[in-house]
Structure 1
Amino acid sequence: MSSSTASPASTTGSGPIPGQRSAAGPVALTSRAPHVPADRLVAEMVPPPRFDSVRFDNYIPDPNQPSQADAVRMLDGFAAGLDGATGGSRKRWFRRETKPAVPAGPRGVYLDGGYGVGKTHLLASLWHATPAAPEQKAFGTFVELTNLVGALGFQKTVQTLSGHRLLCIDEFELDDPGDTVLVSTLLGKLVEAGVALAATSNTLPGKLGEGRFAAADFLREIQGLSAHFRPLRIDGEDYRHRGLPQAPPPYDDATVRRVAQTADGASLDAFPGLLDHLSKVHPSRYGAMCDGIRAVCLTGVEPIPDQSTALRLVVLADRLYDREVPVLASGRPFDELFSEEMLAGGYRKKYFRAISRLTALARDAKPLAQG
């Protein structure tokens, strides 16, 4: 099952079919405010298209970072340990004489490491390697998980996910006390139901929430979350920039508009208008807002004015990166989006991730500008 099989979200207005250009010009993301049914949110809890084909055996460990190869072995063993019926007889990457036993203790594994070391690749590989039907395992970002609770309600979410063998949570971060209590309670219920957990983040489980709110006031919940996981550290540098040329500098407005008019499935928006539009669309709908879009063209990129706007842009950047949508822009370069104060604050890891991913997408857009 893949996200492409889910029923499409409806959009407001009478604009062009997603991904196509009308006679008047390219699609504008600001014209889209999709409604996403709750059943689509559940059906799309699978690895995003970018990670459809990832597996343990096509993850390329950095030979200078032994923790990466160790992570592959450990996660393959974790997946095999979820095969209660057969004990696992699959061909395994880095196989040795015997499959390493899954240690007793927490029923979850937590991949901690910097940006671009392949944590999401490994998490998606774990989802693919787990011997269960697609409907028995779920994959989503932390934001998508909290959005699911908002759409279904807490009890219905527990009921829906309790039948799963594995829940994978990408980019696990706690941004406010309400999320801390919500997710702590949810995961506790799922562990009781026998669901295995796997998560990625740039923050060790016991440090979740630091710098964002009065973490000491919610220490019990945070420690409860940490107890569900055993950390697995993955060292290394950002593979998106490893040995690759730097992202191209911003283009001029004329180039961006030309590409938007000629590239199939391109969108065209003024950056300030897009930021304003994001405030009117729930983040759970940003993925549907990008349905059919093959390239995003932005004019007038400028620094983000406030933290709420910045966090919404982070979610959009994640959805574009998941879908491998190139981003061609004019204005300021992406590494100037966030102020020094933002990059030094509690959400800095999200902002650095967004810069890393937007830079990769800008590099992907370079052939469009040269065409």
Structure 2
Amino acid sequence: MTDGSRPLSLCAREPHVPADRLVAEMVPPPRFDSVRFDNYIPDPDRPSQAEAVRVLEEFAAGLGGGPTNGAGAGGIRRWFRRGGRSADGPAASAGPRGVYLDGGYGVGKTHLLASLWHATEAPPERKAFGTFVELTNLVGALGFQQTVATLSGHRLLCIDEFELDDPGDTVLVSTLLGRLVEEGVALAATSNTLPGKLGEGRFAAADFLREIQGLAAHFRALRIDGEDYRHRGLPDAPPPSDAETVTRFAHTTPGASLDHFPSLLDHLSRVHPSRYGALCDGVEAVCLTDVQPVPDQSTALRLVVLADRLYDREVPVLASGVPFDALFGEDMLKGGYRKKYFRAISRLTALARDARRSVDT
């Protein structure tokens, strides 16, 4: 039974995202609008979490006030001087100019990164927040020099999910961040991989060791230990629904989309990942039928990006077929991208719980 309305279809959408929108949307996503340091709840059994809050609060305080470019970034220099770095010489030579949050999925790294963005005293147009994918997409849309010009006046650049997937990204980002550091931009990043280990298991990282080490030199690494907060103390993930339930929910829920999962995967191959956020515009729930294990790594990585964008926008996902923890094969879960896949499973499971609550009410 339906109410006569027709659900949306992600497969029918081919969004165009102008470059100015990419720049304007470099702010924390809706899920992280209200996060702050004081509503991050550290696990008392994991002292590294409370230590990360302390260090980031100090870092944010060091960014308050003063000019944002060149050697005048005194607040940043003072922050690193307290950490044992010299304040002599130009800003670019004052040691690392950023913090790098390393830890497993679900320990609250994005919460902390967004809290840093909110705590930094600068107007929104003077600080930027985006995923690593969104940053590389911005360079693709604007060109390298224009990206440097656009971001060089910023006080802070936050990069979430910092992961190098190919040698081209390694050289591009190493060069970009080096230029921004020279302009006095402070950096903050999150990742599941220490900066000196980026690229391992994905490409011949040893051939690009110089660039990777250059990236690592920009950051002071903070390790955050802990369990995945999304599932701490919660029941197991809900089982998949049957196709009839998914279809009925799609037809009776305003703003819901309904797609055949294999068709959606095929559609994603024709839409650039930079547009996956726009693909979800106005979608209140995603309904998928016939979910199957993804067939190859390229498809799997595209699905990871879509899962991230849905999670950022708090879009519940109701699906039939295999459970989300069966999306990625054993070889993928043991390979170089395994941390991405576990993050996607974690986030999709959380969104599946949200959808199940709607179905059950």
TM-score (normalised: structure 1): 0.89
Of residues 342, 351, 360 in structure 2, which corresponds to 1:361?
351
- Structure 1 CA distance, aligned partners of 2:278 and 2:81? 41
Q: 1:202 and 1:76, CA in 2 relative to 1: closer, same or farther beyond 3 A? A: same
Q: Structure 2 counterpart of 1:81, which letter?
A: G
Cα pair 1:34 1:288 within 8 Å, conserved = yes
Shift of 1:282: 0.5
Cα pair 1:142 1:169 within 8 Å, conserved = yes
Query: Are 2:167 and 1:177 equivalent residues in the alignment?
Result: yes
Residue-by-residue CA offset, 1:18-48 (whole Å, 9 max, x unaligned): xxx9965100000001000000000000000
Cα pair 2:290 2:320 within 8 Å, conserved = yes
- Structure 1 CA distance, aligned partners of 2:277 and 2:81? 38
Q: 1:23 and 1:41, CA in 2 relative to 1: closer, same or farther beyond 3 A? A: farther
Cα pair 1:259 1:368 within 8 Å, conserved = no
| Aligned twin of 2:245 | 255
Q: 1:102 and 1:137, CA in 2 relative to 1: closer, same or farther beyond 3 A? A: farther
- Structure 1 CA distance, aligned partners of 2:148 and 2:3? 43
Shift of 1:66: 0.7
After the TM superposition, which parts of structure 1 deviate over 4 Å for at least 4 consecutive aligned residues?
21-24, 99-102
Query: Are 2:34 and 1:63 equivalent residues in the alignment?
Result: no
Look up the SS of the partner of 1:140 in the other structure.
strand
Q: Structure 2 counterpart of 1:39, which letter?
A: D
Residue-by-residue CA offset, 1:263-292 (whole Å, 9 max, x unaligned): 111000000000000001010000001001
Shift of 1:245: 1.2
Residue-by-residue CA offset, 1:135-167 (whole Å, 9 max, x unaligned): 000000000000000000000000000010000
Of residues 239, 243, 251 in structure 1, which corresponds to 2:229?
239
Please provide the CA RMSD for this pair: 1.5
Of residues 250, 269, 272 in structure 2, which corresponds to 1:279?
269
Query: Are 2:193 and 1:212 equivalent residues in the alignment?
Result: no
Query: Are 2:97 and 1:107 equivalent residues in the alignment?
Result: yes
> Structure 1 stretches of 5 or more lacking a match?
1-20, 87-98
What is the number of equivalent residue pairs in this alignment? Answer: 339
Of residues 124, 133, 140 in structure 1, which corresponds to 2:123?
133
Alignment of 1:282-297 (within 5 A): 282-297=272-287
Query: Are 2:10 and 1:29 equivalent residues in the alignment?
Result: yes
Q: 1:335 and 1:174, CA in 2 relative to 1: closer, same or farther beyond 3 A? A: same
- Structure 2 CA distance, aligned partners of 1:139 and 1:173? 15
- Structure 2 CA distance, aligned partners of 1:186 and 1:368? 44
Q: 1:339 and 1:255, CA in 2 relative to 1: closer, same or farther beyond 3 A? A: same
Of residues 155, 159, 181 in structure 2, which corresponds to 1:165?
155
Cα pair 1:81 1:102 within 8 Å, conserved = no
- Structure 2 CA distance, aligned partners of 1:256 and 1:109? 43
Q: 1:22 and 1:224, CA in 2 relative to 1: closer, same or farther beyond 3 A? A: farther
Shift of 1:83: 1.3
Query: Are 2:38 and 1:48 equivalent residues in the alignment?
Result: no
Shift of 1:100: 10
Residue-by-residue CA offset, 1:163-207 (whole Å, 9 max, x unaligned): 100000000000000000000000000000000000000000000
- Overall identity of the aligned pairs, in %: 81
Q: 1:243 and 1:107, CA in 2 relative to 1: closer, same or farther beyond 3 A? A: same
| Aligned twin of 2:65 | 84
Cα pair 1:77 1:101 within 8 Å, conserved = no
- Structure 1 CA distance, aligned partners of 2:10 and 2:19? 22
- Structure 2 CA distance, aligned partners of 1:277 and 1:177? 26
- Structure 2 CA distance, aligned partners of 1:313 and 1:216? 28
Q: 1:262 and 1:23, CA in 2 relative to 1: closer, same or farther beyond 3 A? A: closer
- Structure 2 CA distance, aligned partners of 1:185 and 1:78? 24
Cα pair 1:118 1:239 within 8 Å, conserved = yes
Cα pair 1:77 1:100 within 8 Å, conserved = no
Q: Structure 2 counterpart of 1:316, which letter?
A: L
TM-score (normalised: structure 2): 0.92
> Structure 2 stretches of 5 or more lacking a match?
68-78, 86-94
